[in-house]
Amino acid sequence: DQSVCTPLPVLGRDVTVPLVTGGEVTYAALDYAASAPALQRVWDDVAAYAPYYGSVHRGAGYLSQLSTDLFENARATVAEFLGCRADDQLVFTRSTTDSLNLLAAALPAGCQVFVFETEHHASLLPWRDARVRYLDAPRTPGQAVETLERALADRDPDEPALVCVTGASNVTGELWPVRELAAAAHAHGARIVLDAAQLAPHHPVSVQDLDVDWVAFSGHKLYAPFGSGVLAGRADWLRAAEPYLAGGGASRKVTRRADGGVDVEWHDSAARHEAGSPNVIGAHAVASACKALTEAGFDTLVARERQLIDAVRAGLAEVPEVRVLSLFGDDAPRVGVISFVVDGWNSSHFAAALSAEYGIGVRDGLFCAHPLVRTLLGSDPQTAGECGAPEAAPGEKSLNAIRVSFGAGTPDEHVERFVNAVK
């Protein structure tokens, strides 16, 4: 039913790009998984506020008070969007990468971290200074839970532990069994952080419903501009940790000691990890995006996205040379993120041709998830592609893949143009 929902207005819908074949065409942004276009409504909200901004938590003037209110209201709006518990903390960060690095810096002493090798590098790499155990790629959601259960059963139960898992893969778009993984983690006395960078733009994410301890996401994938992200969840580890950045705003009292040194008392609130002048426009933009998605209604957005996913998958299935990459199989629930390779084609050339000949923007590469993409392509880690390295020659086995991704702002025409171009 096409009346399910019309695409939400986003920036850049009328941008035209030149084609190598001559003429120009409106740009089809099909790389939402990297950065989604900002909602027009978010942009308007930011523009409406921009003349009034002043420093946050620092100034006595009217505009400083206004900005402080706006920043703290944004925090409350996003916490509500995420279904946070009353005593959770919500820290504004720069991005998901920043949020997970913050949590990694706040791990209690001796903490063990459990993470699947299939994660995005932002979830895979920040823990390398801790005792981290990388888990093999599961082939079903059930296997993911079993693998985690087995790994946790082996651990020393007296030591703190953290599981880090994605909600939706940035490569396959497949949903991970977050609720079950959270239950497994908690049954073994571990905590869990959800990387919702790809999930939050497509599905409602509730910390309480999923029973996760923390959630992280990025504004620029959730229809807000770049530069703002969120880490929300349990306050205790965050409060006990050294501030992520040392500086003004994080410190409650700083005194000079008799021996010439300096003593600091840090804030216990989220401000502890928000030193420096915060990104009030970014926080405002994220809150505005959360409101816009809530008002549009996730039931409606999910139903519309399902139509687009079905159209892309049906179109790709008609091309025998196309192989869609999947960990959990064809029937797995997924968001609008689909990666594939085309027999006889170099993925980078293919993506470049979609751009140059059809005005379609997709992504090619290993999508900052090298171990997962290599597993899916069956490529040898020693010879497989790396960021910036040349792709396989035409006719050779692909070392990279092509990714098409879309969401709330995608019109049918973009998906139709993509399917026809691939054909």
Q: How many CA atoms lie within 13 A of 114 on its CB side?
A: 30
Q: Could you say which residues in the range 199-258 bind ligand PMP, by CB under 6 A?
A: 218
Q: Minimal distance in Å, beta carbon 18 to ligand PMP?
A: 28
How far apart, in Å, are the Cα atoms of 154 and each of 86, 114, 149, 150, 163? 33, 12, 9, 7, 14
**Contact between 123 and ligand PMP per CB under 6 A:** yes
Residue keyed to tokens 């497994």? 184
With binding defined as CB under 6 A, does residue 101 bind ligand PMP? Answer: no
Tokens representing 180 are 């079950």
Tokens of 362: 């997709």
Residue 178: CB minimum distance to ligand PMP, A: 13
379 forms part of the interface with ligand PMP (CB under 6 A): no
Smaller CB distance to ligand PMP: residue 238 or 366?
366
Task: Indicate whether 339 belongs to the interface with ligand PMP (CB under 6 A).
Answer: no
Among 118, 198, 339, 348, interactor with ligand PMP by CB under 6 A = 198
Smallest distance, ligand PMP to C-beta of residue 284, A: 18
Chosen residue from 41, 75, 120, 188 binding ligand PMP by CB under 6 A: 120
Angstrom distance (rounded) from CA 317 to CA 331: 14
Per rule CB under 6 A, is residue 122 in the interface with ligand PMP?
Answer: yes
Phi/psi for 232 (5° steps) reads -130, 140
How far apart are the C-alpha atoms of 278 and 271, rounded to whole Å?
A: 9
36 binds ligand PMP (CB under 6 A): no
Give, for 356, the enclosing helix (H) or strand (E). helix 347-358
Give me the residue label for tokens 């994220």: 286
- For residue 120, the minimal CB distance to ligand PMP (Å) is 4
- Active-site residue flag, 5: no
Within 10 angstroms of residue 419's Cβ, the number of other Cβ atoms is 18
Judged by CB under 6 A, does residue 45 bind ligand PMP? no
Of the candidate spans 2-10, 55-63, 115-123, 389-397, the one that interacts with ligand PMP by CB under 6 A turns out to be 115-123
Catalytic residue selected from 111, 164, 290, 368: 368
Residue 96 contacts ligand PMP per CB under 6 A: yes
- Element spanning 197, H or E: none
- Rounded to a whole number of angstroms, the minimum distance from the CB of residue 4 to ligand PMP is 26
Considering only the stretches 93-101, 140-148, 299-307, 371-379, report the one whose residues sit in contact with ligand PMP under the rule CB under 6 A: 93-101
Single out the residue of 101, 118, 166, 348 in contact with ligand PMP (rule: CB under 6 A).
Answer: 166
> What span, in angstroms and rounded, lies between the C-alpha atoms of 373 and 135?
15
Stretch that binds ligand PMP, among 75-83, 91-99, 306-314, 328-336 (CB under 6 A): 91-99
Hey, what long-range contacts does 151-157 have (CB within 8 A, 24 or more apart)? 151/114, 152/114, 152/184, 152/185, 152/188, 152/190, 153/188, 155/112, 155/188, 155/190, 156/112, 157/188, 157/189
Residue 170 found at the interface with ligand PMP (CB under 6 A): yes
Contact positions toward ligand PMP, by CB under 6 A? 33, 95-97, 120, 122-123, 166, 170, 195, 197-198, 218, 368
Residues annotated as part of the active site? 368
